[in-house]
């Protein structure tokens, strides 16, 4: 695939860069920022062809926007789960009514989403879902627990993978449901405090939560196909934007190595060069596979590459700092939350990179079974 930029693409890049520089102050409030993006037409790029999104944009222009957004230092998105995961999934599997109901509010930045996949006993093993949804008149009653649910404390809606066929096992009998989060007494969100001191992840408890029949995507029992399709969208254009962020973090580590004198160590220099070379290789791999379909192992290879790379970068960040890496930027007291500098946050958060989004073990199993054709790993039953 050719990703050379045309004149139109360069004009698109200039427009994106200017707009981001002029509206950075709106990022102080995450909901305000989402609506600011939506009003200017920057959410749902490419959906315009289907009549549900904002401005029309080629795949190359979507890459341009993602990279300029990352380079600008704009705030983290609250709406990316709805835009990057649910949106493409509804375009592929949703009914016309579902698309008309849910895509415009996502594109406007008015409704935020979270993902109800992982469970305490079914994290990377998604087919082990136990959350149950029972048909009750014009809808479903949902009972169960989800965990590691990103931004659930901010979300208006959650797409939930639940078991609708009693006694079914593994990927059979699962249904993909769109569930409103504003159900007091039926949905409880509990933040999970991480090593970094932040709480972006949550536990979500469903106690008779309601979902309407018309909010089933892919039909009852068709949840596994929809869920797998969504996971494919999880690693697309956003991967290239992620790598821009990685490059900025690598630059920070290099500067720290120079400041501390660690760069004089040939072992450190070799590790820095290796990190740079591997990041370039990841970029070319992402460009080569972007927009392709039918490659069962592409997303798993990408996850293995960036998860391990980022974790090693965090370890290198601590190495170049030496003993100072163990000291926070401000005095700590038991009465106040501890603070971390950016390199300490990088190290601690990256410990999870090889687990969330599908652990390394699961990714290797996918490659072994679906690409190499090796015998399937025995699965337990519940």
Could you read off the pLDDT of 78-97 as tens digits, one per residue? 898 999 889 989 988 999 99
Alpha-carbon distance 345 to 332, whole Å? 16
pLDDT score for 2: 45
Selection from 141, 90, 149, 163 nearest residue 120 by Cα: 149
The fraction of the chain above a pLDDT of 90, given in percent, is: 38
Would the pLDDT of 308 be above 60? yes
How many Cβ atoms sit within 10 Å of the Cβ of residue 138? 9
pLDDT score for 181: 95
278 is catalytic: no
pLDDT score for 233: 65
Tell me if residue 7 falls in helix, strand or coil: helix
Alpha-carbon distance 370 to 303, whole Å? 16
pLDDT score for 108: 93
Alpha-carbon distance 200 to 11, whole Å? 36
Could you read off the pLDDT of 213-228 as tens digits, one per residue? 999 998 888 888 888 7
Alpha-carbon distance 202 to 118, whole Å? 11
Q: Which of 34, 68, 154, 234 is catalytic?
A: 234
Would the pLDDT of 48 be above 80? no
Q: Are residues 328 and 338 in contact, defined by beta-carbon separation less than 8 angstroms?
A: yes
Could you read off the pLDDT of 124-161 as tens digits, one per residue? 666 678 899 999 888 999 999 998 888 899 999 999 99
pLDDT score for 49: 64
């Amino acid at each position: 695939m050719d990703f050379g930029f045309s004149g139109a693409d360069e004009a698109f890049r200039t427009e994106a860069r200017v707009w981001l520089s002029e509206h950075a102050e709106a990022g102080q409030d995450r909901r305000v920022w989402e609506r600011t993006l939506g009003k200017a037409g920057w959410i749902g790029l490419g959906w315009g062809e289907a009549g549900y999104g904002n401005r029309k944009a080629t795949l190359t222009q979507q890459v341009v926007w993602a990279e300029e957004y990352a380079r600008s230092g704009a705030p983290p998105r609250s709406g990316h789960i709805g835009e990057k995961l649910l949106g493409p999934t509804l375009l592929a599997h949703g009914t016309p009514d579902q698309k008309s109901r849910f895509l415009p509010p996502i594109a406007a930045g008015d409704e935020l989403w979270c993902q109800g996949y992982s469970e305490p006993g079914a994290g990377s093993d998604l087919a082990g879902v136990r959350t149950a949804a029972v048909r009750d008149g014009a809808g479903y009653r949902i009972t169960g627990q989800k965990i590691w649910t990103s931004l659930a404390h901010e979300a208006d809606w959650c797409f939930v993978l639940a078991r609708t066929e009693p006694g079914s096992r593994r990927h059979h009998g699962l249904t993909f449901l769109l569930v409103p989060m504003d159900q007091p007494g039926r949905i409880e969100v509990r933040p999970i405090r991480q090593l970094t001191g932040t709480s972006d992840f949550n536990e979500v408890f469903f106690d008779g939560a309601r979902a309407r029949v018309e909010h089933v995507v892919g039909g009852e029992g068709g949840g596994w196909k929809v869920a797998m399709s969504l996971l494919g969208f999880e690693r697309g254009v956003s991967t290239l934007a992620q790598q821009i962020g990685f490059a900025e973090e690598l630059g920070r580590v290099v500067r720290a190595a120079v400041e501390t004198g660690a760069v004089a160590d040939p072992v450190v220099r070799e590790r820095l060069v290796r990190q740079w070379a591997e990041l370039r290789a990841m970029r070319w791999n992402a460009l080569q596979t972007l927009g392709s379909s039918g490659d069962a192992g592409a997303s798993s290879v990408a996850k293995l590459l960036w998860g391990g790379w980022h974790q090693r970068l965090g370890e290198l960040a601590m190495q170049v700092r030496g003993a100072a890496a163990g000291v926070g930027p401000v005095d700590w007291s038991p009465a106040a939350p501890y603070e971390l500098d950016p390199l300490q946050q990088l190290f601690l958060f990256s410990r999870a990179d090889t687990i969330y989004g599908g652990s390394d073990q699961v990714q290797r199993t996918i490659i072994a079974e679906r690409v190499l054709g090796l015998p399937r790993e025995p699965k337990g039953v519940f």
